[in-house]
Amino acid sequence: MNRRPLIAGNWKMYLTGAEAVRLAQAVAATSGACLDRDVMVAPAFTALAKVCEAVRDTPLQVAAQNVAWGKEGAYTGEISPIMLADLGVRLAIVGHSERRQIFGERDAMINRRLLGALAGDLQPVLCVGETLEEREADHTFSVLEQQMRQCLQGVAKGEMRQMILAYEPVWAIGTGKTATKEQAQEVHAFLRRFLAEAYEKSVADEVRILYGGSVKPENIDSLMAQSDIDGALVGGAALNAESFDRIIRFQ
């Protein structure tokens, strides 16, 4: 299946508005020269409006790092999909491991956020992944299956075709450790089989599955050579225009 690659940069809680605009403009220049792949950045909420405006006429896609489920309401500190779409945001990350591990978000809440994104015409990027303890206990696949089943409750076949998955082993995020290309491919293949069984093969064949976890210029080529890895969710290396440029230009 010829799935269009997606390289996504998650800027986390970094960069002021001016810094984010400068980086976004540099990334947009690269993405405009790479017509056979998609590129996405996810700035902090405070920089979203400026970044969306700065790259409005470029191919660069802008995502939010999280999203609430309601159109509006008494949800202090939350941002609705309607508010995001109004800025020009088109995608939203949900279920990132830092939201799970640091802020205690569980699969039920992630499911609500995902459904809210879909209802608000945002494309969700659903993150799943296991901790080091779970991997060492040989629970990787059972953990991932549970996350997928619970996070995707109520997601119809047509909606699933619109989604993006990201496998991010928690033990490889920000640690400098990376799953080997064989480990990553094994998990991506498992997730695609899950989608084929839960929906149908044509859905599984269409959904892009990204790898996230200490992705660098040094390992992007070998990761992208794997048959079920369709892109990367990049953290630290996405904050540097030169390193992210090399990742975008994977070969």
168 tagged catalytic: yes
| Half-sphere exposure (Cβ direction) of 21: Cα atoms closer than 13 Å | 11
- Catalytic one among 98, 105, 168, 188? 168
Q: Which residue type sits at 185? A: Q
What is the separation of C-alpha 87 from the centre of its chain, rounded to a whole number of angstroms? Answer: 19
- Catalytic one among 96, 98, 130, 188? 96
Integer angstrom CA distances of residue 26 from 121, 160, 241, 247:
27, 32, 6, 14
139 tagged catalytic: no
Please name which of 171, 168, 174 lies closest in space to residue 214, comparing C-alpha atoms: 174
Q: Specify the residue for token string 């998955």.
A: 165
Looking at the annotation, which residues are catalytic? 96, 168
